[in-house]
Amino acid sequence: MFHLPGIRSGFLLLILFFAAVSIFGAEYPAWILLEKGRSSLAQKNLPEALDYLLDAVELQREYPEAEFWLGRVYEAQGQIILAEEQYRRAIELAIYLRVPQDLTLIQYRLARLLLNQGQERALEAESILYGIANSGGASSRSGILLEHQYIARLTEGGIDELVFLYRDDLGGSLEARKLLGEIAWKRGNYRSALLHSMRAALSILTTAAERYRSMHSDWRFDIDAAKDVQNPDRDVRFPGRSDGAGRLIMLAYEEDGPLVEWMEAAGLWPVLYLLSVSLYAEGFENIAASIWELMVVRDSPGGTHSPRIQAGHWGVLAGEQLKRPFISADSLSP
C-alpha cells in the first residue's frame, strides 16, 4: 500500500480550518457564505440566512447573486422595501452575474413584488415583464406578424390547428406572457389576454410535443396515415378536433411523469383556462368551448360532464363555463 506524506496532517489542517470558520463566519469565501445563506433560507432559519448573506455582500462588493438572495430573505421577513432595494441592486450588478440568464429570474422576482403594491407599482412591473417578453423578439415586425397568424389559426380552426401548424418555445419569457395575460384580463383587456395566453399555451404544448416526439420517434400529432404519406417532411398531422392537444396532454399524463411535472409547474391548466375565457370574451364561443372540453370528461355523449382530475380547480371552472358561460370582472372565477 502506498502512503502519501503529509496527507494525514493536511486533513487535520482542513478540519481545523472549517472549525475556525464555523466560529468566525466572515472568514468563509463569499461563495460559501452565499450557499450557506441559501441553505438557511430553505430551512426557514431567516436570522442565520441574513447573517451569512450580509457577510457575503460585505466580503465581495460586486456580488449580484448574494444581493438577490439577501432580498429573498428580506421578502420572507415581510420587509418589502428592503427586498425591493436588494433586487434592484442585483439588477444593477447584473454584468457580474456568473450565469447571465439569472438576470431574468431577478427581474421576475422584482416584478412579482411590485404587482402587489398598488396601480403605479403594477405599471412598473408590467413594464419589466414587457421587457422580458420583448427580449424574445415579441415587438419585432416579424414577431407581430407571426402573432397575427397564430390568432387567425386559433380563432378559425381551434387549438389543434394552431399546434399542428406552429411550434413556438418562449423559453425564459414564458412566465412573462402568463403574468401579462393575467394582468390584461383583470383590466378587461381581453384581446391582450388572448394574445399572451395563446403564446403561453402554444409554448407549453410545443415543449410537450417535442419532448414526446424525442422519446417516441414514430409519434405524430394525431396520426393521419394518408396525409403523412403525402407530406413525409412534417411530423404533425391531425384529422380533426376530437384528439390533438387533448390527446397529447393525456399521453404525457399516462407515460411521462417528469413532463407532467414540468407542464403543471409551467401553468398548463390555468393558461388554457385563461385562453378559453379570453376567446369567449372576444366572441369566439365555439373555440372557447373546445378548450373547456379539454379540461373535463364527458360522462356520456352529449350528456353531463365532470372536471378532469388533472385540471383540478380549472377543470371545475371549465365545467361551469360549459353549463353557462360567464365573464367575471377582475377575476377568472365566478
Model pLDDT, residue 284: 95
Q: What is the mean pLDDT of the chain?
A: 84
Instruction: Give the three cell numbers for residue 249.
Output: 396532454
Asked if 199 contacts 153 with a C-beta cutoff of 8 angstroms, the reply is: no
**Per DSSP, which regions of the chain are E strands?**
296-298, 305-307
Q: What is the mean pLDDT of residues 48-66?
A: 94
Residue of 9 and 34 predicted with greater confidence: 34
Chain segment 155-169, per-residue pLDDT in tens: 998 998 888 888 888
pTM of the model: 0.79
Q: What is the mean pLDDT of residues 299-312?
A: 82
Q: What is the mean pLDDT of residues 18-42?
A: 75
Using CA atoms, how far residue 243 sits from 125, 159, 220, 250, 291, in Å, is 38, 11, 12, 10, 12
DSSP assignment letter at 296: E
Taking the C-alpha atoms of residue 228 and residue 230, their distance in angstroms, rounded to an integer, is: 5
Q: Is 74 exposed, middle or buried (0-12, 13-18, 19+ CB in 10 A)?
A: buried
- pLDDT band at residue 137, thresholds of 50, 70 and 90? low
> Architecture of 24-117 per CATH?
Alpha Horseshoe (1.25)
Looking at the chain, the whole-number percentage of residues with pLDDT higher than 90 is 57
Looking up cell 429573498 gives 72
> Could you tell me the residue ranges of all domains in the chain?
24-117, 141-323
